[in-house]
Chains A and B, each alone.
Chain A
C-alpha cells in the first residue's frame, strides 16, 4: 500500500458505526469497513464511474460535490466522517474541516505530507514543483490544489478549535517519522473532533 493510511482508518472506525466517506472513489475503503467493521456506510463522490463501481459493491452512495454537498447532511449525524487522501483536492479545506467535525462525532482525515524531505529536496535541488509516483501531476494541471504539511494541518486545527485525538504517521523511515513527522512522514492520518 503506497499510501499507508488505510489500515489506520480501518482500525480507528468504530465497530458497527455510521460512517460517511467523503470522496469515496470506487468504494474500496467503505467496502472494507463494511466487511471488517460492520459499519453502516454512506459514500459521497462526484464521478459517475465511481458511483457505479461503489453501487456494484453493494454500497449506498450519493453523487454530489464533496464541499457544496455537505449542506445536504445538515440533518444527519455520523459516528465518523472520513476524508481519505482527498483533503488536497478541496477548494476550502478549512470550511470542510469545520463542517465535518459538526456532523461527525469524530472525523478521520488522511493526506500526503508535502513537508516530506523528498518533496523539500526535490524543490530545493530542481527548483521545480515536486512530482512523485503517487502524485504525478504537473502544477498547472492537477486536482491537488491544496497540499499541506503535517505542521500546516496541525496549525489549522488549532486555529479552528479542532482537537487532534490521535495521529499516526506512515513512512518507510519508521521511528524518524514518529520523531520528526513533518520531515519524514509520507502520509499523515488524524482523528479529530470538535472542542
Chain B
C-alpha cells in the first residue's frame, strides 16, 4: 500500500460480524438455525438512513470490496475501482454495505462452519442456497444496521442477479438497481461451463464426497482445473492474443533444448488455478455455481420476464461489455427490453471493451464515467 494507492481509497478497513440467531428458511425447504455474516461498510450512514447502498458480490468475491486490510496489504478489495471517494459508488455520499454471502468461505456461515447438530464442519451437507436466500440474509443484515431502505442495490455478474432479485422481491426497499455483466438467468452454455468446473472438482480423489476437511485434505487439483476453465471464460479471445499470443514462458521448440516448451497462457492459467486454491473452498465453489445455474428471474410468476418485473419500482441501470461472451450483451439487452416492456425506467449501455466478463472489475474510462454519471441521480 502506497500513498498513491490511498488517494481515492476508503483506506484501511476492518470486517465486522453479525450473528442472526433466528432460523433461516431456505428456498430448498431446508433451514439453518441461525447464521453469521461477515461484512464491510464504507462511508457514513446519514441520520435519516437514506444513503445506504448494498453491494452484492459475484461467484468468487467476498465482503472485502474496497480499501486495504492493513498497512502492508498490497491488493485492495475486489471492486476498489468502483467504490471510494469520488468513484462511481462515492463513499463521500453513500454508506456502502458489502457482506460475504452464506455458503461462502470468507467468514460467513458456509460449508467450512461447524454444524451444531454434528459438531463437525458442514462440508457437502451445507444446504443449497439460492440468490433469493442471499437476499433474505442481506435484508436481515440491513435491519441489523438500522437500514430500512436501499438507495441502490448494485452488483456485477452473480452480484447483479442479487440486485435484480432485490428489485422484485422487495420493491419498496430498492429505489435504484444496478446489474452489470449479469443476466436474468444462465444460458445452457453457461450452465455447461459451471458443470465442467464442478465435475473437475468431483473427479479429484481428494474430494471425498465434499467431506475433505474431515480427512484433512483438499481437492486442490480439481479446484485449480475448475478455476482455469472459469477464468478462461471470463476473458476474450482478442485480449488473450494481445496478452499472451503464442509466446513461450520457458523452454523452446529446439529439439536440443532439454526444457519442455510452456506457453505463456499455460503458465498464466496454472498460476490463476493455484492462486484460487489457496483462497477458496471447493464446496463453496459448487454451491455458488449451483446458485448461479438455478437463478431464473423469468420463472417468477407465470408470464415470463416482463411479468416477473411488474412489481419492481426501482430505476434500473443495466451495463454489459461488448467482448463478454460468458454473460453476453444480448442477455443484458434482453433484461433492458423486458424492463422497457414492463414500463420501468431503465438505462442500458453496452461498453466497448476487449476485457471480456472481467471488464466489470476493471478500470475502463467509459464504464466508470457512465456509472458515476448515473449514480448522480441516486439520492444520498
Residues of B within 8 A of A74 (CB): 337, 341
| Cα A56 to Cα B348 with chains together (Å) | 14
Min CB–CB distance B372 → chain A (angstroms): 9
Q: Is the CB of B340 within 8 A of A62?
A: yes
- Cβ-defined contact, A72 with B337, below 8 A: yes
Would you call A61 and B333 a contact (CB within 8 A)? no
When distances are taken between beta carbons in the complex, the residues of chain A under 8 Å from B346 are 42, 60, 62
Q: Using Cβ atoms and an 8 Å threshold, which residues of chain A touch B349?
A: 48, 51, 61-63
**A174 contacts chain B at the CB level, 8 A cutoff:** no
| Chain A contacts for B336, CB-based, 8 A | 62, 72
Count of A-B residue pairs with CB < 8 Å: 58
Please tell me which one of the listed residues A51, A58, A63, A76 contacts residue B340 in the complex, with CB atoms under 8 A apart.
Answer: A76
Contacts of A55 in B (CB 8 A): 347, 370, 373-374
Would you call the interface of chain A mostly helix, strand, loop, or mixed? mixed
Contact of A58 with B377 in the complex, beta carbons under 8 Å: yes
Q: What is the size category of the interface that chain B forms with chain A? A: 20 to 34
Q: Does B187 contact A (CB under 8 A)?
A: no
* Residue B260 CB within 8 A of the other chain: no
Decide if B352 is an interface residue (CB 8 Å cutoff). Answer: yes
- Nearest chain A CB to B335 CB, angstrom units: 11
Who on chain B is nearest to A72 by CB?
A: B337
Beta-carbon contacts under 8 Å, A95-131 to B: none
Q: Tell me which residues from 45 to 94 in chain A have a Cβ below 8 Å from any Cβ of chain B.
A: 48, 51-52, 55-56, 58-64, 72-76
Given the known interface contacts A60-B346, A62-B340, A72-B336, the answer about A48 and B351 at a Cβ–Cβ threshold of 8 Å is yes
A75 touches B306 (CB 8 A): yes
* Cα–Cα distance between A73 and B306 once the two chains are bound (Å): 13
Scan A124-148; emit 1 where CB is below 8 A from any B CB, else 0: 0000000000000000000000000
Is the C-beta of B172 less than 8 angstroms from some C-beta in chain A?
A: no
Inter-chain contacts of A62 with B (CB < 8 A)? 336, 340, 346-349
- Would A51 and B333 count as touching, CB distance under 8 A? no
Q: Is the CB of A56 within 8 A of B373?
A: yes
Kindly list chain A residues whose C-beta atoms are within 8 Å of the C-beta of B348: 61-64
* B34 contacts chain A at the CB level, 8 A cutoff: no
Residues of B within 8 A of A72 (CB): 333, 336-337, 340
Contact, CB under 8 Å: A73 / B333: no
Q: Which residues of B contact A56 (CB under 8 A)?
A: 373, 376
Say yes or no: is B350 at the interface (Cβ < 8 Å to chain A): yes
| Shortest CB distance B90–A (Å) | 15
> Per-position contact with A for B304-320: 1 when CB-CB < 8 Å, else 0?
00100000000100000
Contacts A/B (CB < 8 Å), 16 sampled:
A40-B345, A42-B346, A48-B349, A51-B349, A51-B370, A55-B373, A58-B376, A61-B347, A61-B348, A62-B340, A63-B348, A64-B350, A72-B333, A75-B337, A75-B338, A75-B340
Q: Which residues of B contact A (CB under 8 A)?
A: 306, 315, 333, 336-338, 340-341, 343, 345-352, 366, 369-370, 373-374, 376-377
Closest 9 CB pairs of A and B: A75-B341, A56-B373, A63-B349, A62-B348, A55-B373, A72-B337, A48-B366, A60-B347, A52-B369
